[in-house]
Structure 1
Amino acid sequence: MPEVTPRETRTILARKKDRIGVLDVRKAEEWTKGHIPGAIHIPLDELPLRLGELDPNREWIVVCRSGNRSAKACAYLAERGFRVRNMRGGMLAWNETDGKGGSE
């Protein structure tokens, strides 16, 4: 599964925000504590029911707390024809790269 670092994610989003989406698959209580600005929130266990909310023509960077759930989501989405990358280290790594938490 292709991976991307938090730093690479920031660069990609700055350059291609209209073509790349961020999908956060954490639980609601994790999401409310901070998330990447502009991300779509669909918890991993709801993904099969809410797949229609994702544009299959966009590339998606998938995020969770540490990278494990997002890897599962990436595998699921890739099997359905989505172009996906897993953000290595998840929000733990994202928060380390900006020192602020990344919430909107």
Structure 2
Amino acid sequence: MGVEWFGFGYAALVASGGIIGYVKAGSVPSLAAGLIFGGVAGLGAYQMSQDSKNVLLSLIASGTLAGLMGYRFYNSGKLMPAGIIAGASLLMLGRLGLKMLEKPHNP
């Protein structure tokens, strides 16, 4: 087991996106969503660091964001922020899928 660096990076990206949305546009909903989803993704990354098969929380956060931000990207066509977060969420979903398929390591 090791630290789930990809998960923590994803969580930081999501949280910083919310902060940037607040700073640039004064959007409190962006700030709240970014911090909440970033926090949930960070907690999921922590859980995966403890047990690499414990992917449920990360799966919920990245799946929800992939759907929501993918929908926003589809409607707006704007790469920032919806396209970036949707793409990162899809990559995270793929990584989590691979984690679920991994065979357990023998100690």
Higher radius of gyration, 1 or 2: 2
User: TM-score, with normalisation over the residues of structure 2?
Assistant: 0.29
Structure with the higher fraction of residues in helix conformation: 2
Structure with the higher fraction of residues in strand conformation: 1
User: TM-score, with normalisation over the residues of structure 1?
Assistant: 0.30
Q: With CA pairs under 8 Å and 6+ residues apart, which has the higher RCO, 1 or 2? A: 1
